[in-house]
Amino acid sequence: MSQHEYYSLTVNGEQHPVQDAWIGESLLYVLRERLGLPGSKGACEQGECGSCTVYIDNAAVCSCLVMAATAVGSQIATVEGLNTDGSLTDVQQAFVTEGAVQCGFCTPGLVMAVHHLLDHNDSPNEQEVKEALSGNICRCTGYGRIFAAVESVISVRKSSAS
Ligand code: FES
Ligand code: FES
């Protein structure tokens, strides 16, 4: 590949052409600056904060650490794709209801991390929740409201399944 390439990425089930990109651009940069998907946030850009969390082929990854061109052929999912009809997911609603959003910068990454956890474990214990969210840093909330939001989703999902 030359330094400036054309390729396309599959994001939230749709093909997105990426034109005139430098081949070393991160997936986070391409999503935000080239594809108009600003939901994933860039803070540390070093894989430390989790604010840029997306899924690649159902694995939760820090998009700041992935070169976009290496994701060609993969299924990429961003926070914008969680609910395409504009409504909030149960996790997003619980964050609002439980007061787990202050500045909101960490919220998209945390919401992605919580959905990923609950997609793989519908009944995580407190330790499992803490471990699953340990890669997502929040500077505002002290985490208590975030854990309360997760507990609330678990409990509502359990009661609606029974
Ligand atoms: S911006 Fe990617 S982990 Fe912080
Ligand atoms: S709400 Fe501000 S960083 Fe988490």
Residue 104 has what pLDDT?
Answer: 97
Beta bridge partners of 77: 55
Sketch out the chain's domains with CATH numbers: 4-79 (3.10.20.30), 90-161 (1.10.150.120)
**For 102-139, how does the pLDDT look when each residue is reduced to its tens digit (9 = 90+)?**
999 999 999 999 999 999 999 999 999 999 999 999 99
Ligand 1 centre to CA of 156 (Å) is 30
3-state SS, 37-94, equals CCCCCCCCCCCCCCCCEEEECCEEEEHHHCEHHHHCCCEEECHHHCCCCCCCCHHHHH
Q: Taking residues 15-33, what's their average pLDDT? A: 95
Residue 75 CB contacts under 8 Å (≥ 6 apart), including other chains: 10, 13, 55, 56, 57, 58
Q: Which two structure tokens, joined as six digits, stand for 57?
A: 């082929």
Strands 53-56 and 14-22: unpaired
Pocket test for ligand 1, best of 27, 31, 45, 138 (most atoms within 8 A of CB): 45
Residue 3 — very low, low, confident or very high, per pLDDT cuts 50/70/90? low
Give the whole-angstrom CA distance, residue 117 versus residue 128. Answer: 9
Give yes or no for a contact between 7 and 72, defined as CB atoms under 8 angstroms apart: yes
Instruction: Provide the 8-state DSSP code for 26.
Output: B
